[in-house]
Amino acid sequence: MAGLQLCGQAAGRPLRDRHPPAAHQGGHASTQLQLLGPEGEPPLLYVRTLAAHAEDGRWSWDTSGTPLPFEEPSRYGAWLVRNRLTRQMLVGYLAALGITVDDDARYARAVLVTQRVRWASRTESLQQARARWQLD
């Protein structure tokens, strides 16, 4: 796996609004592993991807690429999609790749980057946007 670059993401629980609309009560959550490298599939050069993802409470499961030797593919058939790739599994996978994410000594001071824009923002309904873009 020499020459690979790694991108990993983990989210521990769904995000919830204080008073969400009925359609959004399920929240959002995601646990993902994305391994990229020069031998990956163009155009993005993904070597291996795993994703257990929830949007508005609906879970989806996506994989691509060849399983890596340290993976636990028997877990990928779990009834609950969120149990197919847990944070604990992701931390173990990253450790197998030489990345110890739970070691505080690996991290420097945090930096917050913000962007201020000069243009005004607005809120509009779907109907208003469709009319503005002449999609009706």
pLDDT given for residue 6 in this prediction: 55
Q: Is 86 part of a structural domain of the chain?
A: yes
Is the separation of the CB atoms in 62 and 76 below 8 Å? no
Question: What is the chain's mean pLDDT, rounded?
Answer: 79
**CA-CA distance, 86 to 91, in Å (whole number)?**
9
Q: Is 19 part of a structural domain of the chain?
A: yes
Query: Higher model confidence: residue 106 or residue 74?
Result: 74
Task: State mean pLDDT over 18-34.
Answer: 67
Task: State mean pLDDT over 42-67.
Answer: 90
The model carries a pTM of 0.64
pLDDT given for residue 9 in this prediction: 45
Is the separation of the CB atoms in 49 and 33 below 8 Å? yes
| 10 closest CA partner among 99, 107, 91, 104 | 91
pLDDT given for residue 39 in this prediction: 82
Q: Is 118 part of a structural domain of the chain?
A: no
Q: Which domain holds residue 28?
A: 5-108
Long-range pairs for 94-99: beta carbons < 8 A, 24 or more residues apart: 94/6, 94/8, 94/33, 96/68, 96/70, 97/1, 97/6, 97/35, 99/6, 99/8
Tens of pLDDT, residues 76-120: 999 999 999 998 999 999 899 888 888 877 777 777 777 777 777
Asked if residue 60 has pLDDT above 90, the reply is yes
Q: Is 64 part of a structural domain of the chain?
A: yes
Q: What are phi and psi of 61, to 5 degrees?
A: -130, 125
The total domain count for the chain is 1
Asked if residue 24 has pLDDT above 60, the reply is no
Query: How far from 76 is each of 23, 29, 36, 91, CA to CA, in Å?
Result: 28, 17, 21, 16
Task: State mean pLDDT over 44-71.
Answer: 91
Q: Is 128 part of a structural domain of the chain?
A: no
Quote the tokens at residue 113: 């980057």
Is the separation of the CB atoms in 21 and 41 below 8 Å? no
